[in-house]
Amino acid sequence: MNVVYASNDGYARHLAASMLSLFDRNRRAKELAVYIISMGISPESRTKLESIGSSYGRELHFLELEDVEKQFDCEVDTRGFDISAMGRLFVGRLLPASVERVLYLDCDTIVAQSLMELWRTDLRGCVMGAVMEPTIYEAVKKQIGLTEKDFYVNSGVLLIDLRRWRETKAERRLLDFYERMGGSLFACDQDTLNGALKGEICPLPPKYNFFPNYRYFGYRNLADRVPTYKAVKEEEFIEAKRHPVIIHYAGDERPWIAGNMNHYRKAYEHYLALTPWAGTPKEPGHRLYMFAYHMMDYMTVIWPEARWLLSRMLGMRVVEARKR
């Protein structure tokens, strides 16, 4: 199994927790190679990360990607996201030619179960597999050329057929698409992947990239609102809630923020405590917002229409504000 991360130094501790969970939950994997696309990971952090690999008998391969902006033929505006998010677009170039399949994981993920079933997934000739994100704003889909009939995926977990990726010149197509979009998209790398590889992405079950806030949505509410989500079976959605394989701490309720009440926070806290970053204090200053956010989660269970209304009223304001 080949796994790749992309990180800067600021996210190194989250990468450490994710990687440790990967090793712990996949002890039976005979081969497990980890590649880290580094955008400024410090020597100190690198040593700490290598110590985790050594403790599990796994070797890490660091791939330095310097001056990410210079890889593009246009000015890059990531709309508030760190530029390291774009690192996944260069997997075909950076990983050895001998690597023909790779699983990309965001640093803010925790592996809760074995990944062998995911690794063996038949991509049916697609360039990559990913999990649908049904709550994405329609305006975002429209901007990148997707219609209501097209599903939109989250880029936090990507099972990539690297051989096909290279054969179809996916990287070049991604960069060209991003340039055509003016080098500025709501979810920079994610929108680029969805727009440029439309029709070449195989949908994966939600358990392989489960957002904690989806715990509060009902399947029927999502499927009725987003017709493409009917491709996901209700039992698959329920299984993802109860037994997620990969937890993705996307959104605002992050487990490293003080005052968060994330239902799945203990998984992150458990693995962080086993890394050299154990004892790192949570980020302060957001307790009131974390409380309000969690109350919104409960409101979603009781009155899901209210959450959709809030998203329409406030969500796109955030999108527009990030353009400036």
Asked whether residue 307 is assigned to any structural domain, the reply reads no
Confidence of residue 181 (pLDDT cuts 50, 70, 90): confident
* pLDDT tens sequence across 247-266: 999 988 999 999 999 999 99
Indicate whether 43 pLDDT > 70.
Answer: yes
Q: What's the confidence (pLDDT) of residue 322?
A: 47
Question: Whose CA is closest to 148, among 160, 139, 158?
Answer: 139
Asked whether residue 294 is assigned to any structural domain, the reply reads no
Q: How far is CA 234 from CA 150, 175, 209, 222, 237, in A?
A: 19, 36, 16, 10, 5
Asked whether residue 259 is assigned to any structural domain, the reply reads no
Confidence of residue 321 (pLDDT cuts 50, 70, 90): low
- C-alpha 111/C-alpha 29 separation (Å) is 14
Q: Give the percent of the chain with pLDDT over 70.
A: 96
Asked whether residue 178 is assigned to any structural domain, the reply reads yes
Q: What's the confidence (pLDDT) of residue 305?
A: 85
Q: What's the confidence (pLDDT) of residue 271?
A: 98
Indicate whether 304 pLDDT > 50.
Answer: yes
Asked whether residue 296 is assigned to any structural domain, the reply reads no
Least confidently predicted of 45-54, 77-86, 200-209: 77-86
Q: What's the CATH number where 119 sits? A: 3.90.550.10
Question: Whose CA is closest to 153, among 228, 81, 101, 251?
Answer: 228
Confidence of residue 320 (pLDDT cuts 50, 70, 90): low
- C-alpha 90/C-alpha 93 separation (Å) is 5
Asked whether residue 150 is assigned to any structural domain, the reply reads yes
Q: What is the pTM of this model?
A: 0.94
Asked whether residue 100 is assigned to any structural domain, the reply reads yes
Full residue range of the structural domain in which residue 186 is found: 2-253+264-282
Least confidently predicted of 15-19, 102-106, 117-121, 320-324: 320-324
Indicate whether 47 pLDDT > 60.
Answer: yes
Q: What's the confidence (pLDDT) of residue 54?
A: 97
Least confidently predicted of 30-39, 160-169, 269-278, 311-320: 311-320
Q: What's the confidence (pLDDT) of residue 324?
A: 43
Question: Whose CA is closest to 103, among 209, 207, 2, 244?
Answer: 2
Q: What's the confidence (pLDDT) of residue 111?
A: 98
Distance of CA 39 to the CA centre of its chain: 17
Here the tokens at position 50 are 């290598």
Mean pLDDT, the chain, rounded, equals 92
**Total number of domains constituting the chain:** 1
Highest mean pLDDT of the ranges 137-141, 179-183, 256-260, 316-320: 256-260
Indicate whether 83 pLDDT > 70.
Answer: yes
For the segment 8-14, the average pLDDT, to the nearest whole number, is 96
β-pairing, 128-131 vs 109-111, is unpaired
Indicate whether 317 pLDDT > 70.
Answer: no
- C-alpha 4/C-alpha 305 separation (Å) is 38
Confidence of residue 85 (pLDDT cuts 50, 70, 90): confident
* pLDDT tens sequence across 265-300: 999 999 999 999 999 999 998 899 999 999 999 999
Asked whether residue 86 is assigned to any structural domain, the reply reads yes
Query: Under a CB-based contact definition with an 8 Å cutoff, are residues 95 and 6 in contact?
Result: no
